[in-house]
Amino acid sequence: MEKITIERLVEIAKEIDSKGVKWHHHYLPPECLLSEKRPNKHVIILENHETGEMWYSEDDEKRMEELEKLENLFFKRT
């Protein structure tokens, strides 16, 4: 799993979505047990179903604008 910026993560999601590739994402808040190795971090993970590639971004703050972009893209909201 490759660490990238949240901006790049959103770009990749847009790229693979535009190609019709299935993907999904996860948001792990700091208190999530799955993010125990990244205490006090907000983690967003992007998974490409076709290739199995995964990317993640971590931040001290919850990146609501980027999360909303991912949600809108995933659920095909405009």
Domain boundaries, the chain: 2-74
Per-residue pLDDT at 35:
73
Tokens of 59: 């931040």
Q: Cα 59 to chain center, whole Å?
A: 12
Tokens of 45: 């993970």
Contacts 24+ apart (CB under 8 A), 64-68: 66/6, 66/7, 66/9, 66/10, 67/27
Residue 64 CB-density burial (10 A; 0-12 exposed, 13-18 middle, 19+ buried): exposed
What pTM, to 2 d.p., does this model score?
Answer: 0.90
pLDDT band at 18 (very low <50, low <70, confident <90, very high): very high
